[in-house]
Structure 1
Amino acid sequence: MAAARLLHWGTVWAGGARRSWGQWARAGDGVRKILGKSTFFRRGFTLSALSYLGYEVYSLFSQSAVAHASIKVEDIIEQADYLYGSGETEKLYQLLAQHKSSEDAELLWRLARASRDLAQLSSTSEEEKKKLVYEALDYAKKALEKNSSNFAVHKWYAICISDVGDYEGIKTKISNAFLIKEHFQKAIELNPNDATSIHLMGIWCYTFAEMPWYQSRIASLLFTTPPSSTYEKALHYFHMAEKAEPNFYSKNLLFLGKTYMKLDNRKMALLWLMKAKDYPAHTEEDKQVQREAVELLNSV
């Protein structure tokens, strides 16, 4: 992802290239957290158990609606987290969509996440993407109504609000920016150790600190007090995220370096950009981080 330069609350804009807020969030819900904290591993199950679980998940899809209704919420969540950690986006959506009428917030925010993740797939048509984006917001909103004390509900509600910004127009985008900030802050309040929510709050601050003067002017015409921030605030959140979970996300390392560059602190910028460059590339996004870090290092 490139630096957020243009005002956009459905996505973070980067000199014309757009990155969705949800891409930042995925780091905090990735494989290492699923495999590190699932009850299966806490109970000492081996990898063979995961293979068996995969079969169980597959079998679940062939069950009748009555059989699905009898399954415990905890079991569905465990299966959903396994599929999420395995990157099985479509199967995860199919599993959770069968329980879209659930009143359980834990299921609903996961369904919101699965819906917007499915929307992000390159194979998803633009028409279907729009449908899924609004669908995700509906699930997140319902989850919030059912349990407003769940940090993950607030995090994914904020992400889903930002996604609909692509379809709502600039005034709604600006208005949504306040709401997005509110729910990221609430997520952090409810779980001060969730590095992903903290990182996303840093991205919010960085975005508005970097907002060009002409866009600030437009925002001022629409709102008496438009959203704004500083690089110092962004830096605060990026460091908070590192403190909560060191080296949890290559993007956080990159943005620490980029923020220090904005603050003209060359020494610290070099330190964090080097860390971003040397971060093990497990995903395509990590590789993109490495490339951007190298480019920035050559320019410092």
Structure 2
Amino acid sequence: MSFTVTAESIRLTDTALMCIFCCWYVRPLTCSTYSLPSIIAWRGDKEAIDSYGPAANGNAFYIVSCDIMGALGKTHFKHVVLPELPERYITALADSEEEESDDDRKPLQEPVDELTALLRKADRLHSCNGAEKAQGLNALLERKAEFDQKCQYLWRLSRAYADAHDFAVDLAEKKSCAENGKKVGEEAISFNPQCAEGHQWYAILCGLLSEYESIQNKIKNGYLFKDHLDKAIELKPEDPLSYYLLGRWCYAVSQCTWIERKIAATLFGEPPSATVQDALQNFLKVEEISPKYSKFNYVFLAKCYKDLGQRSQAQQMCDAASAMNIQTKEDEEAQKELDSFVASL
């Protein structure tokens, strides 16, 4: 049985789901329905299509009528010849199909608990480049009484203290941020010793605090810095930040004077040991994991190559650093150090 449907018989207000068979292909079409109340959605299979062959021409389709499917089976298809639709209809059909498919693909969203919402807010503020980054500390401190036994909260609070430290102007405020951040970081590790971020940010706060400590505490914090970075890398070996920080530690140790090593040996029995080559390998690991990770990473690669007598490689790293835009406060510091370094190269 066959009939012809004209463009005028299409009603754009309905959204019935029909399954149209054309040239061996099943295509669900969400659009206006044809003015045939008997046509209902039915999803066929390739076997049913194969038994009737492809469409007779480019405008021919097989449409299943579910009214008769139950009684007569798959053998009853209505052959419909569709005219070329006006552009306004085609646009409406495409839009309708896209909207429904997007809705179909959209997963059901579960309610977000308060801790998750807070952690997401903290992550968003940390990712900011301006002074807004420092606002994360207050946002987290406001909920400390509720979540101060959650490692995921605590290591972010430690990180927020580090961010606040970087934006503080007063020296006493900077030291206070470093002290509080280190304390919170230690708490995070005590709740979950297997949290890589907990070890990573505890190490960072140890490094920040060492800037305001005595020689003895500075060296002690240096050992803590190294130990916890090693642990962070063990737990999360593909995090470029940990390798970058370890590279900085190795480079700083390689530049220690004889007297500094002697003091460390006197206080702790064995001075820290690292070479420029150790530092280079860590900075190269950063580039391997995350190419163009930071302007500072290129600066320290350049320094390592220069110290190893490889000036052409050092110049390449300077060029790479210069090519990176300045987006953060750290980038500004890196640019200053790059300008000074290039002048001595």
Question: Gaps spanning 5+ residues in structure 1: where?
Answer: 1-42, 45-69
CA RMSD of aligned residues (A): 2.2
Question: In 2, are the aligned partners of 1:206 and 1:234 still within 8 Å (CA)?
Answer: yes
Q: Secondary structure at the match of 1:214?
A: helix
Q: Which residue of 2 aligns with 1:84?
A: 126
Q: Which residue of 2 aligns with 1:270?
A: 315
Code of the aligned partner of 1:201: L
Confirm whether residue 100 of structure 1 aligns to residue 144 of structure 2: yes
Structure 1 CA distance, aligned partners of 2:212 and 2:329? 27
Q: Per-residue CA shift, 1:270-293, capped at 9, x if unaligned? A: 111111122222234324433433
Aligned match for 1:112, one of 146, 155, 158: 158
Question: In 1, are the aligned partners of 2:262 and 2:271 still within 8 Å (CA)?
Answer: no
Structure 2 CA distance, aligned partners of 1:261 and 1:144? 38
Structure 1 CA distance, aligned partners of 2:215 and 2:333? 29
The alpha-carbon deviation at position 223 of structure 1 amounts to 2.7
Q: How many aligned residue pairs are there?
A: 232
Q: Secondary structure at the match of 2:162?
A: helix
Q: For the structure 1 residues 220 and 116, does the alpha-carbon distance in structure 2 shift closer, same or farther, using more than 3 Å as the test?
A: same
The alpha-carbon deviation at position 99 of structure 1 amounts to 2.5
- Higher fraction of helix: 1
Code of the aligned partner of 2:121: Q
Q: For the structure 1 residues 273 and 128, does the alpha-carbon distance in structure 2 shift closer, same or farther, using more than 3 Å as the test?
A: closer
What is the TM-score normalised by the length of structure 1? 0.71
Confirm whether residue 260 of structure 1 aligns to residue 302 of structure 2: no
Q: Which residue of 1 aligns with 2:261?
A: 216
Structure 2 CA distance, aligned partners of 1:177 and 1:273? 28
Which 4+ runs in 1 deviate beyond 4 A?
A: none
Q: For the structure 1 residues 121 and 290, does the alpha-carbon distance in structure 2 shift closer, same or farther, using more than 3 Å as the test?
A: closer
Q: Secondary structure at the match of 2:238?
A: coil
Q: Which residue of 1 aligns with 2:77?
A: none
Q: Which residue of 2 aligns with 1:225?
A: 270
Q: Which residue of 2 aligns with 1:150?
A: 195
Q: Per-residue CA shift, 1:73-113, capped at 9, x if unaligned? A: 11111111122223424431121002224221111111111
The alpha-carbon deviation at position 119 of structure 1 amounts to 2.7
Question: In 2, are the aligned partners of 1:108 and 1:139 still within 8 Å (CA)?
Answer: yes
- Higher fraction of strand: 2
Q: For the structure 1 residues 218 and 277, does the alpha-carbon distance in structure 2 shift closer, same or farther, using more than 3 Å as the test?
A: same
Question: In 2, are the aligned partners of 1:277 and 1:291 still within 8 Å (CA)?
Answer: no
Structure 1 CA distance, aligned partners of 2:251 and 2:199? 20
Q: Which residue of 1 aligns with 2:117?
A: 75
Confirm whether residue 176 of structure 1 aligns to residue 221 of structure 2: yes
Larger Rg: 2
Structure 2 CA distance, aligned partners of 1:119 and 1:287? 17
Code of the aligned partner of 1:83: L
Code of the aligned partner of 2:253: F
Question: In 2, are the aligned partners of 1:115 and 1:135 still within 8 Å (CA)?
Answer: yes
Structure 2 CA distance, aligned partners of 1:290 and 1:120? 17
Q: Per-residue CA shift, 1:151-179, capped at 9, x if unaligned? A: 11111011112222244421122122221
The alpha-carbon deviation at position 251 of structure 1 amounts to 0.4
Q: Per-residue CA shift, 1:207-251, capped at 9, x if unaligned? A: 000112222222232232111210010001000111110111110
- Matching of residues 280-299 of structure 1 within 5 Å: 280-299=325-344
Structure 1 CA distance, aligned partners of 2:182 and 2:330? 25
Question: In 2, are the aligned partners of 1:137 and 1:160 still within 8 Å (CA)?
Answer: yes
Structure 2 CA distance, aligned partners of 1:279 and 1:80? 27
Code of the aligned partner of 2:124: Y
Q: For the structure 1 residues 283 and 71, does the alpha-carbon distance in structure 2 shift closer, same or farther, using more than 3 Å as the test?
A: same
165-174 vs 104-113, which moves further = 165-174
Query: Identity over the aligned pairs, expressed in percent?
Result: 33
Aligned match for 1:162, one of 188, 196, 207: 207
What is the TM-score normalised by the length of structure 2? 0.62
- Matching of residues 237-248 of structure 1 within 5 Å: 237-248=282-293
166-175 vs 225-234, which moves further = 166-175
Q: Which residue of 2 aligns with 1:249?
A: 294
Aligned match for 1:186, one of 212, 216, 231: 231
Structure 2 CA distance, aligned partners of 1:155 and 1:253? 21
Q: Which residue of 2 aligns with 1:49?
A: none
Structure 1 CA distance, aligned partners of 2:334 and 2:167? 20
Q: Per-residue CA shift, 1:9-35, capped at 9, x if unaligned? A: xxxxxxxxxxxxxxxxxxxxxxxxxxx
